[in-house]
């Protein structure tokens, strides 16, 4: 009888190996990790999501390092960014709007850091911060203050782009039909020409 193995996604052991999906993990000595067929899809989606999150966080890290002119973002900075990502309160006293609680993507946080770059540089020049974390937290509060505005702007740009794309598609469709009808006309004329020619 086929041995039943545990699903790495739901942790239930009820299905023979042969009826399960598996993933090979590790390079030098690959190990098979088994999943129910229906769990495997969820696992892949989750994996894709995590990879995208990691990429966005990495890009955000680079942007922050560039703005502050530092080589490596200290580990203490990450929990603050994660809180903003997860829609948790980042600082003690902070009023949170409904939207805020749903969280913001790392790429939107990055976009807002870029938007606030000049303001951050200004405060870095005039205010005395107690080390990097003090300056970072101050900058993050500027970012939080502006993130809703930047989000609205990004959404407006996206809907404008969608409208333009739609419009272009519409124009192209119309051009196609104009082209088709003039093409038909031309070929008909040629046909008539040939008929005329034959008549002669």
Which residues make up the interface to Zn ion (CB under 5 A)? 7, 9-10, 36, 39
Q: Which of 7, 150 has the CB closer to Zn ion?
A: 7
Q: How far is the CB of 53 from Zn ion (least distance, A)?
A: 23
Q: How far is the CB of 48 from Zn ion (least distance, A)?
A: 18
Handedness of CA 46, 51, 55, 58 (dihedral sign): positive
Residues paired with residue 15 on neighbouring β-strands, in sequence order: 5
Q: Which of 7, 109 has the CB closer to Zn ion?
A: 7
Structure letter (DSSP) for residue 200: -
Q: How far is the CB of 9 from Zn ion (least distance, A)?
A: 5
Chain center to CA of 47:
14
Q: How far is the CB of 22 from Zn ion (least distance, A)?
A: 12
Q: Which phi-psi region, left, alpha or beta, contains residue 131 (left: φ > 0; alpha: ψ -120 to 50)? A: left
Structure letter (DSSP) for residue 19: G
Q: Are strands 4-6 and 13-16 parallel, antiparallel or unpaired?
A: antiparallel
Instruction: Give alpha helix (H) positions in 6-130.
Output: 37-68, 78-86, 98-101, 106-115, 117-126
Q: How far is the CB of 67 from Zn ion (least distance, A)?
A: 44
Q: Which of 42, 191 has the CB closer to Zn ion?
A: 42
Separation of alpha carbons 4 and 40, rounded Å = 16
Q: Which of 39, 67 has the CB closer to Zn ion?
A: 39
Q: Which of 10, 154 has the CB closer to Zn ion?
A: 10
């Amino acid at each position: 009888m086929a041995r039943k193995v545990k699903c790495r996604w739901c942790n239930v052991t009820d299905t023979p190996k042969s009826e399960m999906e598996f993933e090979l993990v590790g390079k030098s000595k690959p190990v098979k990790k088994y999943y129910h067929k229906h769990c495997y899809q969820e696992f892949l989606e989750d994996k894709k999501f995590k990879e995208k999150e990691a990429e966005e966080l990495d890009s955000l890290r680079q942007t922050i390092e560039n703005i502050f002119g530092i080589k490596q973002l200290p580990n203490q900075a990450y929990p603050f960014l994660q809180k903003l990502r997860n829609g948790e309160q980042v600082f003690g006293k902070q009023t949170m709007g409904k939207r805020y609680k749903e969280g913001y993507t790392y790429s939107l946080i990055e976009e807002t850091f870029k938007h606030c770059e000049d303001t951050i540089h200004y405060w870095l020049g005039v205010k005395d911060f107690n080390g990097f974390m003090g300056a970072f937290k101050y900058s993050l509060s500027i970012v939080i203050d502006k993130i809703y505005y930047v989000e609205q702007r990004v959404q407006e740009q996206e809907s404008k782009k969608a409208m333009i794309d739609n419009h272009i598609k519409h124009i192209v469709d119309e051009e196609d039909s104009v082209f088709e009808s003039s093409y038909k006309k031309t070929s008909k004329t040629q046909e008539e020409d040939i008929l005329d020619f034959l008549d002669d």
